[in-house]
Amino acid sequence: MGESSEDIDQMFSTLLGEMDLLTQSLGVDTLPPPDPNPPRAEFNYSVGFKDLNESLNALEDQDLDALMADLVADISEAEQRTIQAQKESSQNQHHSASLQASNFSGAASLGYGTNVAATGISQYEDDLPPPPADPVLDLPLPPPPPEPLSQEEEEAQAKADKIKLALEKLKEAKVKKLVVKVHMNDNSTKSLMVDERQLARDVLDNLFEKTHCDCNVDWCLYEIYPELQIERFFEDHENVVEVLSDWTRDTENKILFLEKEEKYAVFKNPQNFYLDNRGKKESKETNEKMNAKNKESLLEESFCGTSIIVPELEGALYLKEDGKKSWKRRYFLLRASGIYYVPKGKTKTSRDLACFIQFENVNIYYGTQHKMKYKAPTDYCFVLKHPQIQKESQYIKYLCCDDARTLNQWVMGIRIAKYGKTLYDNYQRAVAKAGLASRWTNLGTVNAAAPAQPSTGPRTGTTQPNGQIPQATHSVSALLQEAQRHAETSKDKKPALGNHHDPAVPRAPHAPKSSLPPPPPVRRSSDTSGSPATPPKAKGTGSGGLPAPPDDFLPPPPPPPPLDDPELPPPPPDFMEPPPDFVPPPPPSYAGTAGSELPPPPPPPPAPAPVPDCARPPPAVAKRPPVPPKRQENPGHPGGAGGGEQDFMSDLMKALQKKRGNVS
Amino acid sequence: MAGMKTASGDYIDSSWELRVFVGEEDPEAESVTLRVTGESHIGGVLLKIVEQINRKQDWSDHAIWWEQKRQWLLQTHWTLDKYGILADARLFFGPQHRPVILRLPNRRALRLRASFSQPLFQAVAAICRLLSIRHPEELSLLRAPEKKEKKKKEKEPEEELYDLSKVVLAGGVAPALFRGMPAHFSDSAQTEACYHMLSRPQPPPDPLLLQRLPRPSSLSDKTQLHSRCTQEPRPLCRGSPTQDPPPSTLRFQAFSLCVLLPQTDPVRLTQLYEQARWDLLLEEIDCTEEEMMVFAALQYHINKLSQSGEVGEPAGTDPGLDDLDVALSNLEVKLEGSAPTDVLDSLTTIPELKDHLRIFRPRKLTLKGYRQHWVVFKETTLSYYKSQDEAPGDPIQQLNLKGCEVVPDVNVSGQKFCIKLLVPSPEGMSEIYLRCQDEQQYARWMAGCRLASKGRTMADSSYTSEVQAILAFLSLQRTGSGGPGNHPHGPDASAEGLNPYGLVAPRFQRKFKAKQLTPRILEAHQNVAQLSLAEAQLRFIQAWQSLPDFGISYVMVRFKGSRKDEILGIANNRLIRIDLAVGDVVKTWRFSNMRQWNVNWDIRQVAIEFDEHINVAFSCVSASCRIVHEYIGGYIFLSTRERARGEELDEDLFLQLTGGHEAF
């Protein structure tokens, strides 16, 4: 992407394009598969629009305003002025184009902060962020400052947060998403949109929501390689998209959603792994009876110390010899650093051991039916291979145990050695989830917050306070929604502008999209080819016309989303909210909802959009409400910001305008 | 009162003469004779002694030591009768605190004042407080090995002795921090140096010395080590307090460690690290070759950091966050308007490497050697072309290095700079060698490959430092390989370059040549190169703790009903019965199942009862029962402590658990 560096115009378009992608993918996922993004759904619940609706609604607006104000405040006054000036100059173009667009862009008016949001919205709504100017000034005012919060102190902090957010948004724009077909144990399948930051835990949560299963800790995502006849469960902390990207295009591999008690067996009966006295029967009996308290202390001892304890495991296993069909029996030992074997004629003291394999680069799989396939001595096989290897290869290690119990011990032992404490953390999270399951509908959000979030570290700080999931997508959608609300309000204020939603206009922004560097986010729809939602397609619709959105712009909530999959049916109860989302394809869920409540409002003309910024996660927004008013008055960091920023801004503005000009 | 006489000079009361020797050095030098009666209180006697000596001096630390009974007379309100003191008692009047020489885990000697009159546990606690080591219950003192001491006396060079004997801590108060160290260390340059010695890791030892030091060669040797442990609640010195005790060794003895907080206890962390290191170097704990390389790499890294004075904060916090942070700071700058670099540019451009390299792909039945290719390395992908002209076209091969294994194959003196890549692909691993012309080129490509293997690009902020690190290694290897076979350098010379022999246990010195060792250590080093000093130490300790033999103290015992000696291993959670000859674990009992343990001090037998009426009894051969008893009691004490999590030590409980044999 570096090519266009000097040309700000281009850069901007790139940015926009990315936005597009993002939105498209959002749109996509909304459409076909029942809303895959868990966070979003959760968000719904937590906010409880329906239930609390109006009052909340109002609040929401305020929040939005607050957000705007925040963002605006960050820009020095001088800057604002310039912007305004610019805007005025650009007014002409602006008018034609932006007017229609302006409906929504209340959000846009936010200036940097909202910018992204605005763009995002615009795609749906079709209005591009028109060069901003006036809105900037106006908007901040409109929102009646709801609650006077003592935010001034935190301003500096807030600013930093905002910047972070902005960057995150930027990143988010590039988020890769996959549509994944998950096979359920009743032979049905569900398609899910999984974004690149989602961990297996998030996906599971998502599935829990859809399937109404009991959410117990044994549920797992399970990958199967039919070709190699191996399978394994995803660890909850694993990044799903990452794993799936290792699959080949024509793979037969499948993802299953099922219960496997082996997944956390060690935490349920640690004594079977830690206290096993190799084959002595007497111990077995006592083991079964271990009481809860002892189990707990055993676990604490093993997993909560400065370092975890890997179960002592050793014994003879069969090893498949490279490239041959013969299996050789060797004495193996498990240590924290890897699997070792005792070379011929040596003892099993540490100094004589030879390293068989270390765990950094391999995953462990169960082998199925290897007795048939590879003439293994038994069917209790496990396999170690680099996750990227998909075909038979000498780099895959096959091992075979005498019985199921040994197999489970080895697999679990290796997982403990490989993942360490993470495994325990995963388990605790799973337990928390399971515990909450009953209250899930009410408290959905809460547990959502609990699961570790994907790598997006920094943002957590801001988001977390509300206990909401920091998921970017989610926040975006929330933002969108808010933006929309805001738009509604603003519309009231600016009746004149209102109701112009020109579908046509919106396209202007999309143009850049074509130039966008990032190709459709979907790298591969894995085995889900079936899912209609693939991003590219979405994109097509999006750019093509977004007609849909504008048209029904006020999407009647009810229109049942086009469901292609069986999935939809189940969700209904939970999904009360979501449905509206689905309806209008392009507008993300919130758009839908918002629409239903209020007529599509013409938002005030948006502010310039240069900096990525962002849609801030709803929670944060909620907190901020009071800010707005004060912000305006207080030119945050007037001094410094002026120079560089202005330039930057104005460049972007120009770019925007240019673009708009072209289009219109 | 005592001393009433008749006119003739005869004593008419029941008083008698008590002779008390005064002084530290020479007991015969001075003595006072008092007239006392059986009813005299110790306090009164003390008073009289001081009066008689008639010297102005601070006597507050002085007390009376009863030599025959090896007992301090500390209860000043007791009468002589109550103590049972008669005229034949040899009493010494001397200070309770005296300087002792203590050998620390890092093998440095320290002179400090320790209490001779308090129970050892308290004395150790006081020492720890002085050294600012938290959790004194984890440490104990080891008597110096007696016989071996003599042998080595021959030419033990006069070693530096750190002196803390002048430092006296006010009781009760936690030492405040001053200039980054506890206030009492900042008094003088000398004490400051001492603190540095305590809190910073020492350079690797001279390999020659390492070979000379005694190493346990068998399990029974190990029992010797542990038999020297003294955790007895008895005063420090067992001989007269008036003789200087032999140097003792301070050692972490309890192996269920409390949480390590690098920030709050640098001394404890460092000393633990040192102990771990010496354990490994002296083969007191066994590890495999692979593990040793990791340990060596960590030592090397730690040494490098501590020498370069980077004691401070982490080199890499979370690598994943790096780029974001950098981008953030960029953006921040931007917003402040000071630096007009454009953010988007830095976010979007990814540097790439292009060059002519010689490539070799080992294949079956090919003898072709390296061939010149035009190689382009962009993001995480390596592509090579026949020539530069063909670059725009399709490459001969394209490899995504993400997840690949990067192995340096370098011989500096031979001017061979190869990078071996094991790139995973769906079909297996493909092997490819890149041969660079010189160090510079090698460093750049190597750094790129390493980052790529972790999924990061050369845009990552750590790229430059990685390049530097690689260059530094190369130069090291040049100096290091100077005298690999024979190491004529003194310890000083070896501290400079990488002398691998100082980092590994002697048996690896015998097994490998330095030339072979260096690359392996460096290879392991690349995984830890990003760690900060404290992190590296922590990692070292964790790896040490995960060794299977970690934390087991060995005692030679004879089980009841058995005719041969066996080894009893005492770990922090279990007792292990080990076959002396083979080293196999025969049976394990866990403390959590233990009902009670009893020691019959007369027949030196320990009897333990476990749940379900399992009874075990053994007599101790290599050490006294006391040690076994103290270990068990100590571990049980520690496990209660873990639950309570309090900082305060329940001293009584500790004494109760580990004591009990006083009466005998």
**How does pLDDT run across B94-138, given as a tens digit for each residue?**
888 777 777 788 877 888 777 777 777 777 788 887 887 777 777
Pairwise CA distance, residues A626 & A63, whole Å: 8
Pairwise CA distance, residues A253 & A240, whole Å: 14
A359 touches chain B (CB under 8 A): no
Contact call for residues B104 and B128 (beta carbons, < 8 A): no
pLDDT given for residue A319 in this prediction: 92
Task: Provide the residue count of chain A.
Answer: 664
Distance from CA of B594 to the nearest CA of A (A): 12
Show which of B396, B425, B458 is a domain's final residue. Answer: B458
**Number of other CB atoms surrounding residue B647 within 10 Å:** 10
Asked if residue B312 has pLDDT above 50, the reply is: no
Residues of chain A with pLDDT under 70: 1-153, 170-173, 276-290, 437-664
Pairwise CA distance, residues A595 & A588, whole Å: 11
Contact call for residues A631 and A140 (beta carbons, < 8 A): yes
pLDDT given for residue A10 in this prediction: 64
* Shared domain check, B594 and B564: yes
Beta bridge partners of B407: B420
Segment among A198-207, A559-568, B218-227, B290-299 with least mean pLDDT: A559-568
A637 touches chain B (CB under 8 A): yes
* Shared domain check, B282 and B219: yes
Q: Which has the closest alpha carbon to A451: A239, A231, A199? A: A199
Q: Which helix (H) or strand (E) holds A584?
A: none
Residue B279 falls inside a structural domain: yes
* Shared domain check, B104 and B89: no
More confident residue, B19 or A27: B19
Q: Which has the closest alpha carbon to A472: A16, A27, A157, A39? A: A39
pLDDT given for residue B507 in this prediction: 81
A395 touches chain B (CB under 8 A): yes
Residue B37 falls inside a structural domain: yes
Pick from B328, B548, B590: CB nearest A163: B328
Pairwise CA distance, residues A426 & A409, whole Å: 19
Show which of B458, B482, B510 is a domain's final residue. Answer: B458
B362 touches chain A (CB under 8 A): no
In terms of DSSP bridges, do strands B16-22 and B91-95 run parallel, antiparallel, or are they unpaired? parallel
Asked if residue B337 has pLDDT above 50, the reply is: no
* Closest-CA residue of chain A to B294: A337
| Strand ranges across the sheet with B62-66 | B30-36, B16-22, B91-95, B62-66, B71-73
* Shared domain check, B219 and B105: yes
Cβ <8 Å between B337 and A388? no
Distance from CA of B228 to the nearest CA of A (A): 25
Domain count, chain B: 4
Best probe of the A interface among B348, B550, B554, by most A CBs < 10 A, is: B348
In B237-288, which residue ranges form alpha helices assigned H by DSSP? 266-281
More confident residue, B573 or A581: B573
Cβ <8 Å between B286 and A167? no
**Each residue of A544-566: pLDDT tens digit?**
333 434 444 444 444 444 444 44
Cβ <8 Å between A640 and B587? no
Residue B307 falls inside a structural domain: no
Distance from CA of A453 to the nearest CA of B (A): 14
Asked if residue B393 has pLDDT above 60, the reply is: yes
More confident residue, B320 or B426: B426
Pick from B291, B424, B583: CB nearest A349: B583
* Shared domain check, B270 and B123: yes
Please report the residues numbered 261 through 290 in chain B whose beta carbons come closer than 8 angstroms to any beta carbon of chain A: 286-290
Residue B556 falls inside a structural domain: yes
Distance from CA of A537 to the nearest CA of B (A): 26
pLDDT given for residue A467 in this prediction: 37
pLDDT given for residue A625 in this prediction: 40
Give the tokens for residue A582.
Answer: 């689905």
pLDDT given for residue A366 in this prediction: 93
Domains observed in chain A: 43-78+157-180 (no CATH), 266-438 (2.30.29.30)
Distance from CA of B271 to the nearest CA of A (A): 16
pLDDT given for residue B23 in this prediction: 67
Asked if residue B546 has pLDDT above 50, the reply is: yes
Span B553-560, average pLDDT = 84
Pick from B340, B573, B583: CB nearest A644: B340
Show which of B458, B492, B525 is a domain's final residue. Answer: B458
Radius of gyration of chain A (CA): 28
Pick from A5, A358, A389: CB nearest B424: A389
Cβ <8 Å between A389 and B428? yes
Pairwise CA distance, residues A258 & A240, whole Å: 16
DSSP per-residue letters across B559-584: ETT--S-EEEEE-SSEEEEE-TTT--
pLDDT given for residue A572 in this prediction: 39
Contact call for residues A515 and A10 (beta carbons, < 8 A): yes
Pairwise CA distance, residues B464 & B467, whole Å: 5
Pairwise CA distance, residues A360 & B220, whole Å: 36
Residue B329 falls inside a structural domain: no
Q: Which helix (H) or strand (E) holds A39?
A: helix A38-47
Pick from A170, A337, A458: CB nearest B290: A337
Residue B21 falls inside a structural domain: yes
pLDDT given for residue A52 in this prediction: 34
Largest CA distance in chain A: 92
Q: Which residues of A touch B543 (CB under 8 A)?
A: 307, 336-337
Contact call for residues B331 and A167 (beta carbons, < 8 A): yes
Q: Please state at what angle helix A77-93 crosses helix A638-663, rounded to 10 degrees.
A: 10
* Shared domain check, B594 and B563: yes
Distance from CA of A27 to the nearest CA of B (A): 26
pLDDT given for residue A410 in this prediction: 92
Segment among A211-215, A357-361, B217-221, B525-529 with least mean pLDDT: B217-221
Pairwise CA distance, residues A617 & B577, whole Å: 59
* Shared domain check, B592 and B643: yes
**CA geometry: angle at B639 spanning B638 and B641, to 5°?**
65
Cβ <8 Å between A306 and B542? yes
Give the tokens for residue A104.
Answer: 């929504």
* Shared domain check, B108 and B253: yes
Please report the residues numbered 268 through 287 in chain A whose beta carbons come closer than 8 angstroms to any beta carbon of chain B: 275, 277, 286
Asked if residue B206 has pLDDT above 60, the reply is: yes
pLDDT given for residue A137 in this prediction: 38
* Side chain identity, residue A659: K
Segment among B34-48, B60-74, B360-374, B545-559 with least mean pLDDT: B360-374
Give the tokens for residue B63.
Answer: 């007390």
For the entire predicted model, the pTM comes to: 0.64
pLDDT given for residue A143 in this prediction: 43
**Each residue of B251-271: pLDDT tens digit?**
776 555 566 666 667 788 888
| Domain carrying residue B565 | 552-659
* Shared domain check, B119 and B58: no
pLDDT given for residue A84 in this prediction: 54
HSE value, Cβ hemisphere, 13 Å, CA-based, for A352: 10
Distance from CA of A392 to the nearest CA of B (A): 7
* Shared domain check, B273 and B166: yes
Residue B169 falls inside a structural domain: yes
Q: Which has the closest alpha carbon to B348: A7, A343, A502, A215? A: A7
Task: Provide the 3-class DSSP secondary structure of residue A194.
Answer: strand
A63 touches chain B (CB under 8 A): no
Inter-chain contacts counted by CB atoms under 8 A, chains A and B: 165
**Number of other CB atoms surrounding residue B380 within 10 Å:** 22
pLDDT given for residue A290 in this prediction: 67
* Closest-CA residue of chain B to A1: B348
Please report the residues numbered 77 through 116 in chain B whose beta carbons come closer than 8 angstroms to any beta carbon of chain A: none
**CA geometry: angle at A218 spanning B548 and A240, to 5°?**
85
* Shared domain check, B283 and B183: yes
Sign of CA dihedral B613, B614, B620, B626: negative
* Shared domain check, B110 and B56: no
CATH number, domain of B91, equals 3.10.20.90
CATH number, domain of B594, equals 2.30.29.30
Cβ <8 Å between B335 and A637? yes
Q: Which residues of B touch A301 (CB under 8 A)?
A: 256, 573
Pairwise CA distance, residues B80 & B323, whole Å: 76
DSSP per-residue letters across A460-492: HHHHGGGT----HHHHHHHHHHHHHHHHHHHHH
Q: Which residues of B touch A305 (CB under 8 A)?
A: 256-257, 545
Best probe of the A interface among B335, B407, B454, B458, by most A CBs < 10 A, is: B335
Contact call for residues B406 and B412 (beta carbons, < 8 A): no
DSSP per-residue letters across A71-97: HHHHS-HHHHHHHHHHHHHHHHHIIII
Q: Which residues of B touch A419 (CB under 8 A)?
A: none
Segment among A464-478, B172-186, B330-344 with least mean pLDDT: A464-478
Residue B134 falls inside a structural domain: yes
Segment among A79-93, A478-492, B482-496, B537-551 with least mean pLDDT: B482-496
Q: Which has the closest alpha carbon to A204: A169, A232, A244, A236? A: A236
